[in-house]
């Protein structure tokens, strides 16, 4: 296998090269945890991997078939209800170090965070879904620029404690709900070694070929811990070596002989880029500054056969969606129809006309 082939295999692993029909919740469960801080774009990350429209995906989130919360790293993720509790047990202690540090800057120690949790639980009990501003108002925390960071830390701490997760959308506003009212707690727990092994297997089967450093970046765990997890599951994976670097992937992944020409218009922060420590398999380094910034802001990308060939943005109008593209190089005339085919799935997903500029 070559570096060029890695990008092809990742299309299959990540369900971007569609071979079977999947529901939105099956996509989320397959990928383990999908980064989702940009809510509108994160829904399209799911939609680009299945045939569901935006309304169906929104309904899956509103009904609790897909959970949105902070997990793995201190950012939003979509997670399956089947995975939420064991993943929280595994990753929350390491992410809470971040939230505890942030809260302490505003004189909120562990005691105050626990008191806030008690109040939040009472506020949300009985499927009472409230926005963060509504919760903060009840907690007596005024809305200021500095308090916004404190309120974020308070709510993230409550998420990591397994108390809350996102609830039903209130118009265009995100709400919080009690996690146990959305997802019942399981009867049994995994120990840390079992959970790490399960997380590693999920990652490499859904993101491979990938390295131990890729898994470390995605999971938030140190490379030494990640290597131990890989050692525990190595018989369940295939291993390849390129330039003295080991890559792990699913055993029965499709052969590249079956690939066809394909273009994807993918959202910002999509797993195809964000879930890897190094990304040389996906684009040329001289285009890096156009794809993502030094402070970690990822742009929506145009992917041709697994390679980034440009960026795009969408603007929602009253009766259509405007798509603006920036290609890194002129595309051949005979390939332009493939490019425009790639946007059709987004048009179907939105359920509105697309105009490309």
Greatest mean pLDDT range, 181-185, 277-281, 286-290: 181-185
Q: What is residue 143's predicted lDDT score, i.e. its pLDDT?
A: 76
CA-closest candidate to residue 42, choices 270, 237, 318, 210: 270
Contact between residue 36 and residue 46 where contact means Cβ atoms under 8 Å apart:
no
For residue 238, pLDDT beyond 60 = yes
Cβ-contact 81, 180 below 8 angstroms:
no
* 31 φ/ψ sector (left φ>0, alpha ψ -120 to 50, else beta): alpha
How far apart are the C-alpha atoms of 38 and 194, rounded to whole Å? Answer: 31
Q: Specify the pLDDT at position 170.
A: 94
pLDDT one-digit tens code per residue, 160-190: 999 999 999 999 899 999 999 999 999 999 9
> Is the model's pLDDT at 255 over the cut of 70?
no
pTM for the model stands at 0.93
Q: What is the average per-residue pLDDT within 70-79?
A: 95
With a CB cutoff of 8 Å and minimum separation 6, the contacts of 353 are 319, 320, 321, 347
Residue 357 pLDDT: 76
pLDDT category of residue 256 using cuts at 50, 70 and 90: low
pLDDT score at 285? 65
Q: How is residue 116 written in tokens?
A: 């806030």
Distance CA 125, CA 160 (A): 18
Which residue from 16, 1, 3 is spatially nearest to 259, judged by alpha carbons?
Answer: 16
CA distances to 206, 317, 343, 352, 353 from 323, rounded to whole Å, are 29, 11, 9, 12, 10
Residue 297 per-residue DSSP state: -
A 10 A CB-CB count for 283 gives 22
Which of 174-178, 268-272, 353-357 has the lowest average pLDDT? 353-357
Start-to-end CA distance of the chain, whole Å, equals: 38
Strand order, beta sheet including 263-266 = 263-266, 301-304, 307-316, 320-327, 353-356
pLDDT, tens digit, for every residue of 296-306? 788 999 998 88
- The answer to whether the Cα torsion of 105, 109, 112, 114 is positive or negative is positive
Phi-psi domain of 70 (left: phi exceeds 0; alpha: psi -120 through 50; beta: other): beta
Percent of the chain with pLDDT over 90: 69
Would you tell me the crossing angle of helices 212-219 and 223-233 to the nearest 10 degrees? 110
The strand pair at 307-316 and 320-327 is best described as antiparallel
Helix (H, G, I), strand (E, B) or coil at 176: strand
Q: Tell me, what DSSP letter sits at residue 299?
A: P
Q: Is 293 exposed, middle or buried (0-12, 13-18, 19+ CB in 10 A)?
A: exposed
Helix (H, G, I), strand (E, B) or coil at 68: strand
Question: Which range, of 49-58, 63-72, 277-286, averages the lowest pLDDT?
Answer: 277-286
pLDDT value, residue 19: 72
Helix axes 3-13, 192-207, angle to 10 degrees: 110
């Amino acid at each position: 296998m070559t570096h060029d082939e890695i990008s092809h295999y990742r299309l299959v692993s990540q369900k971007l090269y569609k071979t079977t029909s999947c529901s939105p919740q099956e996509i989320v469960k397959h990928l383990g945890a999908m980064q989702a801080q940009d809510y509108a774009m994160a829904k399209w990350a799911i939609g680009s991997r299945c045939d569901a429209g935006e309304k169906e995906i929104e309904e899956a989130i509103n009904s609790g078939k897909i959970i949105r919360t902070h997990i793995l790293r201190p950012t939003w993720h979509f997670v399956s209800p089947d995975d939420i509790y064991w993943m929280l047990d595994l990753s929350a202690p390491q992410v809470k170090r971040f939230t505890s540090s942030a809260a302490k800057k505003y004189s909120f120690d562990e005691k105050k965070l626990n008191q806030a949790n008690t109040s939040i639980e009472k506020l949300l009990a009985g499927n009472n879904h409230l926005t963060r501003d509504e919760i903060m108002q009840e907690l007596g925390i005024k809305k200021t620029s500095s308090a916004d960071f404190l309120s974020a830390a308070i709510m993230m701490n409550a998420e990591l404690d397994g108390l809350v997760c996102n609830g039903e959308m209130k118009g265009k506003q995100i709400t919080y709900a009690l996690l146990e009212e959305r997802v019942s707690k399981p009867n049994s727990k995994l120990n840390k070694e079992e959970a790490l092994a399960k997380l590693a297997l999920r990652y490499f089967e859904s993101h491979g070929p990938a390295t131990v450093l890729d898994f470390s970046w995605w999971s938030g765990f140190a490379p030494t811990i990640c290597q131990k997890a890989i050692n525990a599951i190595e018989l369940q994976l295939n291993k390849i070596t390129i330039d003295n670097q080991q890559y792990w992937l699913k055993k029965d992944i499709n052969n590249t002989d079956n690939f066809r020409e394909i273009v994807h218009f993918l959202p910002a922060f999509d797993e195809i880029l964000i879930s890897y420590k190094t990304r040389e398999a996906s684009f040329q380094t001289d285009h890096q500054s156009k794809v993502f910034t030094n402070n970690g802001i990822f742009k929506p990308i145009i992917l041709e056969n697994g390679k980034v060939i440009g960026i795009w943005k969408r603007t929602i109008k009253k009766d259509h969606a405007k798509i603006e593209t920036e290609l890194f190089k002129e595309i051949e005339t005979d390939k332009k129809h493939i490019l425009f085919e790639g946007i059709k799935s987004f048009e179907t997903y939105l359920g509105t006309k697309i105009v490309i500029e």
